[in-house]
A and B are shown apart, each in its own frame.
Chain A
């Protein structure tokens, strides 16, 4: 079952990436899964790591495809794993719940307007449109909060600091040109 879901999720990768690595990724996942200890906690940890790794990998692959290697993820990809701050997860759940609620309320308003007699609908029309406008404003605020949440999460990961680090020397170790922003010049 987990293998099927995992294979299904591979469609999230860009086509070229999937063609190049898809079979290998599936095979390695199958091998790693078969070597799992029987303890439930170990299995949960394994699936959590694999599915989070797959989702962050798809995101990175798409960003690479769209913007090329200029996106500063070089050292980020060498990190142990993406650590998403817990508070941000909570915040994003609240934002999602707000979004779903706003959509639900908007649907209710539209249904209510349709079920009113024509004369009443004409009289109450401007008020209903006002209500819909207010809901649209709430939706926009929620979308802005979601965007802020994503930026906040990226900030909390410390990725912007990793971007400034250059520890891989491009040139000769003994005295030749080093990158200007190298933190560890001899």
Chain B
């Protein structure tokens, strides 16, 4: 989810994703390089993200971006979380009332 969110704003390379995930989570989520590339590989396999083909991009610094399928799935997950938050607020309010 955080990796997808990181790519939602702009295409990024691996290290940039690591730093962005760390900053988005306020330093609570620190991904290791192995974990990050495991997740990227899964997302590539599912066609939720893709590599940006750049001629001048070195092989060790490739950039990734969301595909339309990935963006759609991210939007659905956000909607699901929004609904869950709304439900939680409702239930908490009912409990306090």
Contacts and interface: CB of A to CB of B under 8 A. Distances in A.
Interface of A: 17, 20-21, 23-29, 31-32, 49-50, 52-58, 60-61, 69, 74, 77-78, 80-81, 167-169, 173, 184, 186
Contacts of B14: 24-25, 27-28
Given A32-B18, A50-B32, A69-B45, A57 B38 contact: yes
A29 B42 CA distance: 20
A167 B29 CA distance: 20
B34 A53 contact: yes
A69 B42 CA distance: 9
B34 A58 contact: yes
B55 interface: no
- Interface residue SS majority, chain A: helix
Given A50-B33, A61-B38, A77-B38, 4 more contacts: A24-B14, A28-B18, A168-B73, A173-B76
A53 B73 contact: no
B34 A31 contact: no
Interface string B11-45: 00011001000000000111111111111111001
Contacts, number: 92
A184 B37 contact: no
A147 to B, nearest CB: 25
A28 B30 contact: no
Contacts of B33: 25, 28-29, 32, 50, 53-54
B60 A27 contact: yes
B61 interface: yes
21 contacts: A17-B41, A24-B14, A24-B37, A24-B61, A28-B14, A31-B15, A50-B33, A50-B34, A57-B37, A57-B38, A77-B35, A78-B39, A80-B30, A81-B31, A167-B77, A167-B80, A168-B76, A169-B80, A173-B76, A173-B79, A184-B84
